[in-house]
């Protein structure tokens, strides 16, 4: 490897600024060609984490020469190794201290609107391969957020907005029925290992505070919560006993711990509740159903709505982002895009403007369950009603007939809604609707959603997205099996599936696999065909104009034996 390398910086005005140095975290053995790498950017003084996949030499003689492509750098969310009992290093602490911030909001939006590019914005720009000014503009305009509570300095900055990589959130958290703190930490580790960009701790059981403390101190990604869950525990589980005061205190408690964004179901208005009565599955958001119950029991407007400005003031002091909850999202195909959902969305748009007046960052939660033909409308309506605030959707699930496979039913919807501009996708695991996910479910959900997010990025034309597909496709065509495995989203599984039928080491260099066997490998034959065509010296245009008969005749004399 070269000790110096270049970060691909699209839109960077200075080539100098993209010079970086590598600090390899581990020395790769022959078979350990995937590694975590930190790259120093001398201009900003920042060190950016990546996953690096070292490639073997391209053998292709028939396609464009990519032999200089010695490795591929990929966006990495796995964070530093967890140090038992210590928590992660507080990466952002000096930046936060340096900025100070008494007497004004400390939010990324506040700085962005005043023209200041924070270290967080620079970090994000280097991770995404865009320039920092683009990041600043998107945050200033409210089209993107950088969730970054000043009390969670351990997080590596990331951005949620349609102009950037489509992000994936993983939900973890115990319930009163099952799970434990070590199990939740393991889920956190697995989620970020498999690419979670943020993690929501949805714990509802005992030890909510302690569980969250462990999670935040060990999380390299922003942590989201739904504070109403803990508030409900505080009032003994009785929704009608909830109050603004209990809720406010819970928010401050979580803010102090470092929660980066909070789901607030402030759009579940009293007058919207009857809209859910004709539905097939009523209200399916936990927070939404709790607030609906409170509103009905108290014959009062939702206290999250009436006290929203006070929430903004708290959020501004910590830089907590709103994740405005879709408490009235549809819970089945039949209820998709109905009046209840869109009524709430209009209110979320109104609240977005209030938050922005306080320089508080906002994203908007979305469904849920939506058939394919109604997905585009969701994004269009959200962008219009919510003034371009980033959209953050749960799936959506595109059919209700497959419990046990809702990571797939919803990855379909997630890819589509991502293509249309949703900025972050909340994963759904195979256990959705059936039980609490375990670590294996977390992995399955994450992989399905990283696929969906990446498919969306390809469709949106993210400048760095297609490089990954191209590198893998070239490895495939050139029978560089180890490169193909290592470039896979899940190298172990790819290797294991290959080895299930062809375990021997020579098969890793073979020009076929068990799928077709040696004689029927299209890629093998196709390489021969390409060599034949190249050997004849035919250009594409020429071939079409003159037909190939004469040239083929010429080749027949010398080349036909390559098929034998």
Q: Which residues in 292-331 contact a second copy (CB under 8 A)?
A: 292-293, 295-300, 331
Closest approach of Cβ 338 to a second copy, in Å?
A: 11
Site track 182-201 with a second copy (rule: CB under 8 A), x = hit: --------------------
Site for a second copy in 6-65 (CB under 8 A): 62-63
HEC letters along 290-342 = HHHHHHHHHCCCCHHHHCHHHHHHHHHHHCCEEEECCCCCCCCHHHCCCHHHH
Of 40 and 377, nearer to a second copy (C-beta) is 377
CB atoms within 10 A of CB 526: 12
CA–CA distance, 393 with 383 (Å, rounded to integer): 13
Site for a second copy in 252-271 (CB under 8 A): 270-271
472 with 489: CB under 8 angstroms? no
Tokens of 341: 């959902």
Residue 356: CB partners within 8 Å, gap ≥ 6?
Answer: 109, 142, 362
Q: Is 4 in the site for a second copy (CB under 8 A)?
A: no
CA–CA distance, 278 with 274 (Å, rounded to integer): 8
Closest approach of Cβ 381 to a second copy, in Å?
A: 18
Of 117 and 346, nearer to a second copy (C-beta) is 346
Of 5 and 474, nearer to a second copy (C-beta) is 474
Closest approach of Cβ 475 to a second copy, in Å?
A: 10
Q: Is 436 in the site for a second copy (CB under 8 A)?
A: yes
Closest approach of Cβ 184 to a second copy, in Å?
A: 14
Distances 323 to 2, 239, 320 between C-alpha atoms, Å: 43, 21, 9
Q: Which of 25, 81, 97, 516 binds a second copy (CB under 8 A)?
A: 516
Three-class DSSP category at 269: coil
Tokens of 454: 């990446």
HEC letters along 109-167 = HHHHHCCCCCHHHHHHHHHHCCCHHHHHHHHHCCCEECCCCCCCCCCCCCCEECCCCCE
Q: Is 403 in the site for a second copy (CB under 8 A)?
A: yes
Closest approach of Cβ 345 to a second copy, in Å?
A: 16
Site for a second copy in 215-244 (CB under 8 A): 229, 232, 237-240
Site for a second copy in 531-550 (CB under 8 A): 532-534, 538-540, 542-544, 547-550
Closest approach of Cβ 292 to a second copy, in Å?
A: 5
Query: Given the rule CB under 8 A, which of 132-140, 150-158, 283-291, 314-322 is the region that contacts a second copy?
Result: 283-291
Q: Is 404 in the site for a second copy (CB under 8 A)?
A: yes
Query: Which candidate, 434, 437, 416, places its Cα nearest to that of 425?
Result: 416
HEC letters along 203-254 = CCCCCHHHHHHHHHHCCCCCEEECHHHHHHHHCCCCHHHCCHHHHHHHHHHH
CA–CA distance, 139 with 161 (Å, rounded to integer): 9
Site track 466-505 with a second copy (rule: CB under 8 A), x = hit: x-xxx-xxx-xx------xx-xxxx--xx-xxx-xxx---
232 with 243: CB under 8 angstroms? no
Burial tier of 255 (Cβ tally within 10 Å: 0-12, 13-18, 19+): buried
Of 152 and 524, nearer to a second copy (C-beta) is 524
Closest approach of Cβ 536 to a second copy, in Å?
A: 8
Of 92 and 462, nearer to a second copy (C-beta) is 462
CB atoms within 10 A of CB 3: 8
Of 10 and 300, nearer to a second copy (C-beta) is 300
Q: Is 560 in the site for a second copy (CB under 8 A)?
A: yes
Indicate the helix (H) or strand (E) that contains 19. strand 19-24
Closest approach of Cβ 62 to a second copy, in Å?
A: 7
Q: Which of 25, 81, 97, 515 binds a second copy (CB under 8 A)?
A: 515
Query: Given the rule CB under 8 A, which of 5-13, 137-145, 172-180, 344-352 is the region that contacts a second copy?
Result: 172-180
Q: Is 440 in the site for a second copy (CB under 8 A)?
A: no
């Amino acid at each position: 490897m070269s000790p110096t390398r270049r970060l691909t910086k699209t839109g960077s005005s200075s080539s100098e600024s993209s010079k970086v140095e590598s600090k390899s975290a581990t020395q790769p053995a022959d078979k350990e060609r995937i590694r975590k790498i930190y790259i120093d950017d001398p201009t900003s003084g920042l060190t950016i984490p990546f996953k690096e996949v070292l490639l073997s030499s391209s053998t292709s003689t028939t396609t464009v020469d990519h032999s200089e492509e010695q490795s591929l750098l990929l966006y990495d969310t796995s964070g530093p190794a967890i140090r038992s009992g210590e928590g992660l290093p507080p990466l952002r602490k000096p930046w936060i201290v340096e900025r100070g911030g008494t007497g004004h909001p400390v939010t990324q939006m506040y700085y962005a609107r005043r023209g200041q590019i924070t270290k967080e914005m620079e970090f994000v720009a280097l991770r995404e391969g865009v320039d920092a000014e683009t990041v600043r503009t998107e945050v200033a305009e409210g089209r993107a957020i950088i969730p970054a509570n000043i009390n969670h300095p351990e997080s590596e900055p990331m951005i949620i907005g349609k102009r950037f990589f489509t992000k994936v959130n993983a939900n973890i958290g115990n319930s009163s029925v099952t799970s434990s703190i070590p199990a939740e930490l393991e889920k956190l580790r697995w989620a970020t290992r498999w690419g979670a960009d943020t993690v929501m701790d949805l714990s509802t059981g005992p030890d909510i505070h302690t569980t969250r403390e462990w999670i935040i101190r060990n999380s390299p990604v922003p942590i989201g919560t739904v504070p109403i869950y803990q508030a409900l525990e505080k009032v003994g589980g009785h929704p009608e006993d909830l109050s603004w005061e209990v809720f406010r205190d819970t928010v401050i408690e979580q803010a102090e711990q470092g929660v980066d964004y909070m789901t607030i179901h402030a759009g579940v208005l009293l007058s919207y509740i009857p809209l859910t009565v004709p539905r097939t599955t009523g209200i399916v958001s936990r927070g939404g159903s709790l607030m609906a119950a409170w509103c009905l029991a108290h014959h009062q407007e939702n206290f999250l709505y009436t006290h929203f400005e006070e929430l903004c003031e708290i959020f501004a002091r910590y830089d907590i982002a709103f994740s405005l909850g879709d408490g009235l999202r549809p819970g089945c195909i039949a209820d998709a895009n109905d009046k209840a959902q869109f009524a709430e969305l209009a209110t979320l748009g109104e609240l977005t403007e209030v938050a922005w007046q306080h320089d508080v960052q906002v994203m908007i939660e979305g469904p849920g369950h939506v058939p394919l033909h109604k997905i585009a409308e969701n994004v269009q309506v959200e962008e219009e009603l919510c003034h371009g605030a980033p959209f953050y959707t749960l799936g959506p699930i595109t059919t209700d007939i497959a419990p046990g496979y809702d990571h797939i039913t919803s990855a379909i919807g997630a890819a589509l809604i991502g293509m249309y501009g949703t900025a972050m996708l909340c994963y759904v695991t195979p256990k959705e609707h059936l039980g609490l996910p375990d670590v294996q479910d977390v992995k399955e959900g994450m992989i399905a959603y990283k696929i969906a997010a990446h498919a969306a990025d390809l469709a949106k034309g993210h400048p760095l997205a297609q490089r990954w597909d191209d590198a893998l496709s070239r490895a495939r065509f050139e029978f560089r099996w180890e490169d193909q495995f290592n470039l896979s989203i899940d190298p172990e599984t790819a290797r294991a599936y290959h080895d299930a039928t062809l375990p021997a080491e020579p098969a890793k260099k073979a020009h076929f696999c068990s799928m077709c066997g040696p004689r029927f490998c299209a890629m093998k034959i196709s390489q021969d065909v390409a060599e034949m065509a190249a050997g004849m010296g035919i250009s594409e245009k020429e071939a079409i104009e003159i037909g190939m008969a004469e040239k083929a005749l010429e080749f027949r004399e010398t080349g036909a034996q390559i098929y034998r």
